[in-house]
Structure 1
């Protein structure tokens, strides 16, 4: 599933007031963190993930790995915050066409 510009803008607006539900610490991306992301995406569809660390290249690798492993769409990365969207079977969020 690919999102168009209108859908991405809609999701950014919905995500604005959300707090990060998963935080990646100094241990990096572990199986436990991926499992937590899976649970959060299944329950909420739209989540924020906070990535600790100063190195931009490492952060970009972590973001790519999360997107690849979770099957979610990268909506936005601002600073240390990643916004992910993956529709659930219940389809809680209705996207514009």
Structure 2
């Protein structure tokens, strides 16, 4: 699902207030990180991630790799943080209504 400019602006404003739930360190984007991100995306749809200095990936590379492995879209990359979005398949979670 490709996000429109309007969708991205809406998601960026929602992501601004989030704390990082996934932290990528020297292990880079491994299976455990992908598993955690998938669980967080199913529960929240929009998550913020942080990349530590010890990671061999730069922030954009980490964001793209994690989003690709999770089937998500990169919403924003700022400094050492990025946010990704994927619509949840769960019915018990309040979904983000995109304009």
For the criterion TM > 0.5, the same-fold answer is: yes
**1:48 maps to what in 2?**
48
Give the structure 1 partner of residue 18 of structure 2. 18
Counterpart for residue 95 of structure 2: 92
TM-score (norm 1): 0.89
Structure 1 alignment gaps of length 5 or more: none
CA RMSD, aligned part only?
A: 1.8
Structure 2 residues not aligned, in runs of 5+: none
- Please give the alpha-carbon distance, in whole angstroms, between the structure 2 residues aligned to 1:28 and 1:19: 19
The 8 Å contact of residues 28 and 57 in structure 2, kept in 1 or not, is answered as no
Please give the alpha-carbon distance, in whole angstroms, between the structure 1 residues aligned to 2:88 and 2:29: 23
Residue 38 of structure 1 is matched in structure 2 by: 38
Closer, same or farther: CA 54–78 of 1 in aligned 2, 3 Å: farther
Question: Which secondary structure state, in structure 2, belongs to the residue aligned with residue 23 of structure 1?
Answer: strand
Corresponding pairs, count:
95
1:29 and 2:32 are equivalent in the alignment: no
Where in structure 1 do 4 or more consecutive aligned residues deviate above 6 Å? Answer: none
**1:54 deviation in Å?**
7.0
CA deviation after TM superposition for structure 1 residue 51, in Å: 0.9
**Alpha-carbon offset, residue 62 of structure 1:** 2.0
TM-score by length of 2: 0.87
